[in-house]
């Protein structure tokens, strides 16, 4: 691992792990959840409030920051953390997923991905070398390799081709990455095929990275398939490096992934759901536009320290029904706080040697709210 970085495994309970990731911008406990600040901003929540939720590490996106405002501006501001006024560790996703999901007229060759910006149609390119240059200029504590992402379901030959290209790109990223105060993570690909996942993991391990991510999940494959893929992948990753599941997810998914040995998570759900009046509690989901909350004087959740829970449900519902922007802001803050409280509870249970009991109880409680709308 690069100087200034370390990952210390502090406790384990079955497959679940509790650890500490140290970076040049401080250390964070794992399991950890990273709020998504795609453009160096967590949607609707100022950085001070993000800190109050208990977040220790934030994720931003190299694709978006490269297009706007450009990595040179972020670099001139002193790097990503300084640019957004954050004092803790940061991570940048390489932008591979966004290139293939957002960009226009994408052409993939062995050299890289060539496309037109989804913002203004300007031609742009992402190669492994270019991705490393951009992420090193952005200056997050952790950078991700560039990988080739394909939509699922897909033919095995397509998934296999993309996985092996991702490994070749990982080798090029490893050579091109030279910033000593930034860690580089590899990304395991291979769809839902356990043999392809094993091959990807073992080849990335042979290259050598500071941490390893599992990509290409949370794309509609279902929780059972996700867990099966994680279980077939984890034995082939080193136990002394952090493991990051990208883009996941629902609270139940996080619990299952921690049980499988994952340490790090990110997802847009806390703020996306908050903007749409859906909040998470340890008794299940609450949809604030529901008429039954019109006279509900309870807070969203007893014992929650967030600013939203200083108000009652009838007031929060009123904000949404009246179209007041404060409603989405407060709901987002609550959801971000909930996710931090969730991973903190999982960590405490691992340390105490009672993860299985805590996870089982949480899963029962989380199903106690409203059923999702069809």
Q: Which residues are catalytic?
A: 93, 266
Alpha carbon distance 151, 172 (integer Å): 23
Burial of 81 per CB tally in 10 Å (0-12, 13-18, 19+): buried
Q: 236 CB contacts (<8 Å, ≥6 apart)?
A: 197, 198, 201, 202, 205
Q: How far is CA 177 from CA 77, 124, 128, 339, in A?
A: 21, 20, 9, 32
Query: Whose CA is closest to 62, among 83, 35, 37, 87?
Result: 37
């Amino acid at each position: 691992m690069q100087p200034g970085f370390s990952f210390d495994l502090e406790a384990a309970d079955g497959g679940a792990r509790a650890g500490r990731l140290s970076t040049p911008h401080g250390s964070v406990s794992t399991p950890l959840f990273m709020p998504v600040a795609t453009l160096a901003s967590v949607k609707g929540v100022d950085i001070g409030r993000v800190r109050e939720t208990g977040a220790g590490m934030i994720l931003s996106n190299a694709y978006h920051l490269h297009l706007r405002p450009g990595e040179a501006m972020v670099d001139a501001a002193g790097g990503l953390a300084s640019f957004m006024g954050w004092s803790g560790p940061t991570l940048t996703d390489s932008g591979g997923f966004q290139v293939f999901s957002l960009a226009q007229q994408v052409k993939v060759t062995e050299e890289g991905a060539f496309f037109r910006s989804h913002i203004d149609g300007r031609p742009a390119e992402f190669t492994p070398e270019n991705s490393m240059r951009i992420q090193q200029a952005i200056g997050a504590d952790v950078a991700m390799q560039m990988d080739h992402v394909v939509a699922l379901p897909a033919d095995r030959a397509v998934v296999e081709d993309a996985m092996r290209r991702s490994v070749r790109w990982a080798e090029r990223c490893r050579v091109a990455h030279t910033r000593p105060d930034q860690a580089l993570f590899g990304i395991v690909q291979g769809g839902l095929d356990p043999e392809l996942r094993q091959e990807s993991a073992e080849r990335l391990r042979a290259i050598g990275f500071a941490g390893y991510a599992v990509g290409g999940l949370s794309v509609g494959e279902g929780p059972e398939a996700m867990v099966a893929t994680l279980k077939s992948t984890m034995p082939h990753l080193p136990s002394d490096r952090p493991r990051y599941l990208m883009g996941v997810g629902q609270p139940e998914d996080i619990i299952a992934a921690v049980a499988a040995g994952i340490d790090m998570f990110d997802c847009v759900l806390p703020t996306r759901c908050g903007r749409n009046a859906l909040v998470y509690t340890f008794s299940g989901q609450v949809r604030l536009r529901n008429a039954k909350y019109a006279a509900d004087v309870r807070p969203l959740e007893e014992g929650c320290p967030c600013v939203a829970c200083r108000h009652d449900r009838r007031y929060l519902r009123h904000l949404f029904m009246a179209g007041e922007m404060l409603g989405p802001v407060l709901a987002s803050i609550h959801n971000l706080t909930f996710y931090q409280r969730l991973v903190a509870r999982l960590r405490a249970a691992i340390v105490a040697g009672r993860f299985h009991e805590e996870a089982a109880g949480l899963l029962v409680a989380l199903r106690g709210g409203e059923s999702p709308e069809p």
